[in-house]
Amino acid sequence: MFTSFLIFLGLLAALLVFFVVGYNRLVRLRNKAQTASSDVDVQLQRRHDLVPNLASTVSGYAGHERGTMDEVTEARARGLGQRPAAGILADAESYPTLRAEDGFTQLQGQLAGTEQGVAIARQAYNDAVLEYNTALQSFPWVFVAWLASFAPMELVHADDPAAHAPAVQFASS
């Protein structure tokens, strides 16, 4: 009789350990997926904040350069109308150094890097959700998931509205 009681206690202890281990594993996997979801949100917020500001900065700088070139061109035209032809050939014209192209190149690099960061974060999230959902459906963890009411999580799909990058628009003047 005492031996049966010890066997019963041993089985009960083993079930309790199994439940605790399984529960902790599912909690860890769920937290990993939730953290990955938060990382996607951080990348999307970075994109939302960065892209319009970069585009505005580059557009403003390009507008400034356009104005500078217009002024240089007008000054040159006025100068040509007032100087003798021999003096024109002797003068070396000095144009301002233009840097808007560098800005556009940097903008393109920042956009590509931002989109890559979003894609990597989404992939990490989907990987974490896959691992979590697989554990929920796998034997023996399915029993712990059912007893503790763990729910599956949704994957990120390409047709989600957040999947689309914001349009970059430059002001025309």
pLDDT, tens digit, for every residue of 47-58?
Answer: 887 777 766 666
Mean pLDDT calculated for residue range 37-56: 82
What's the pLDDT tens digit per position in 104-136?
Answer: 777 778 788 888 999 999 999 999 999 999 999
What per-residue confidence (pLDDT) applies to 154?
Answer: 93
Split into its structural domains, the chain has a count of 1
In a domain, 4, yes or no: no
- For 72, the domain range is 11-163
Dist CA 170 CA 51 (whole Å): 12
Cα separation values, 172 from 65, 66, 86, 111, 147, Å: 13, 11, 39, 21, 62
First to last CA, the chain: 95
Q: Which residue has the higher pLDDT, 60 or 126?
A: 126
* Domain CATH for 29: 1.20.1440
In a domain, 172, yes or no: no
Question: Predicted confidence band at 46 (pLDDT cuts at 50, 70, 90)?
Answer: confident
What per-residue confidence (pLDDT) applies to 111?
Answer: 81
In a domain, 3, yes or no: no
Dist CA 156 CA 69 (whole Å): 47
In this predicted structure, the answer to whether residue 66 has a pLDDT above a threshold of 90 is no
In whole numbers, what is the pLDDT of the chain averaged over residues? 79
What per-residue confidence (pLDDT) applies to 110?
Answer: 79
In a domain, 138, yes or no: yes
What per-residue confidence (pLDDT) applies to 76?
Answer: 63
Q: Which residue has the higher pLDDT, 81 or 144?
A: 144
Instruction: Give the count of beta carbons closer than 10 Å to the beta carbon of residue 115.
Output: 14
In a domain, 169, yes or no: no
What's the pLDDT tens digit per position in 145-169?
Answer: 999 999 999 998 876 655 555 555 5
